[in-house]
């Protein structure tokens, strides 16, 4: 028990040193309830054309299939709330995309944490994930005592709201687990549901992705966004923060301290006309390490044309 406590403390201290805001730990086990909810969500077709959401179902619901012999799931939160805002004349871009792509930033931190564990605790089998693998990171965050799932299906915390990236480290190291977060603090509030211009939040903690502006502007690869969403995009060119911006818990959001998330000046300042006139070459050079590279120049041009029409 002494070794488990010491190792747990070492890992949480190192996570803080690496810049993570919070670290929680849960027992690696099958997520039966989450498996049922995910299956029901998929059966409704709410994943749209995100076929990867249906792939590797068993891996998503049992971390021991991702990391053989896994005993602990370490969940880490990293604040991305920006200090600066976009100018009023710019097309809207989700706050998480203001700076360097978080995948690069967090993967580096996870690798450092794994190296630290190897150097200070001993050889372990572990893998780090940042929403690019079949891991139900929000469920693990709740099980690790970090927060609850809000009606907008985002993880909410009492100390800093929801502008947080979630990272997961699955390891065969036995650690002291935290108590699950058992309370829903949304109460009767429905601000996120009421504010969504496309009515994508179809129930508490249930989102129809095919109606979500983030899905439409990033995940959907079609040449055109469905015409039914004309006049409902609310000037969003990449992603959407509406359901987070209206959430009362985000009054506690504080500017992040991560240098890599410093906003790219063009994101804060370019007008719609300047985006329209940007060449593909300039786009690639400017946003090569940005989340905006995901839909590529063609996707961004499609989105601009839609919010303009």
The encoded tokens of residue 290 equal: 């940005």
Beta 92-93 vs 236-238: how paired, if at all? parallel
**131 annotated active-site:** yes
CA gap 254, 160 in Å, rounded: 7
CB 194 within 8 A of CB 245: no
H or E, element range at 238: strand 236-238
Contacts 24+ apart (CB under 8 A), 38-47: 38/136, 41/206, 44/208, 45/210, 46/202, 46/206, 46/207, 46/208, 46/209, 46/210, 47/209
- The residues, ordered by sequence, that sit 6+ positions from 23 with a Cβ below 8 Å of its Cβ are 11, 12, 15, 16, 74, 75, 76, 77
CA gap 28, 71 in Å, rounded: 5
Handedness of CA 121, 127, 129, 135 (dihedral sign): negative
Phi, psi (5° rounding) for residue 34?
Answer: -65, -35
CA gap 180, 24 in Å, rounded: 9
* Options 62, 131, 172, 234, the catalytic residue: 131
| Cα distance between the two ends of the chain | 63
CA gap 132, 129 in Å, rounded: 7
Q: Distance between alpha carbon 254 and the CA centroid of its chain, in Å?
A: 17
Overall size of the chain counted in residues: 309
The encoded tokens of residue 60 equal: 């998503």
Residues assigned a catalytic role: 131
């Amino acid at each position: 028990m002494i070794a488990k406590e010491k190792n747990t403390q070492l890992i949480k201290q190192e996570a803080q040193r690496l810049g993570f805001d919070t670290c929680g730990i849960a027992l690696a086990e099958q997520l039966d309830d989450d498996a049922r909810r995910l299956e029901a969500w998929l059966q409704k077709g709410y994943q749209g054309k995100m076929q990867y959401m249906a792939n590797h179902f068993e891996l998503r619901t049992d971390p021991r299939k991702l990391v053989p012999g896994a005993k602990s799931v370490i969940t880490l939160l990293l604040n991305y709330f920006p200090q600066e805002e976009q100018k009023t004349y710019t097309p809207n871009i989700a706050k998480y995309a203001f700076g360097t792509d978080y995948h690069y930033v967090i993967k580096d931190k996870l690798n450092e944490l794994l190296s630290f564990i190897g150097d200070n605790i001993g050889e372990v089998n572990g893998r780090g994930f940042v929403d690019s693998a079949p891991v139900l990171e929000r469920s693990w965050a709740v099980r690790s005592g970090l927060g609850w799932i809000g009606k907008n299906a985002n993880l909410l915390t009492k100390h800093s709201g929801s502008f947080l990236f979630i990272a997961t480290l699955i390891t065969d190291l036995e650690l002291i687990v935290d108590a699950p977060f058992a309370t829903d603090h949304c109460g009767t509030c429905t601000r996120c549901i009421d504010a969504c211009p496309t009515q994508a939040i179809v129930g508490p903690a249930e989102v129809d992705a095919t109606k979500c502006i983030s899905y439409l502007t990033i995940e959907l690869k079609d040449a055109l966004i469905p015409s039914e969403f004309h006049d409902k995009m609310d000037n969003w060119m990449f992603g959407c923060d509406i359901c987070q911006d209206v959430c009362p818990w985000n009054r506690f959001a504080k500017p992040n301290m991560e240098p890599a998330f410093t906003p790219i000046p063009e994101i804060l300042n370019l007008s719609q006309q300047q985006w329209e006139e940007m060449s593909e070459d300039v786009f690639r050079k400017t946003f090569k390490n940005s989340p905006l590279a995901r839909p590529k120049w063609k996707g961004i041009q499609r989105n601009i044309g839609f919010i303009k029409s």
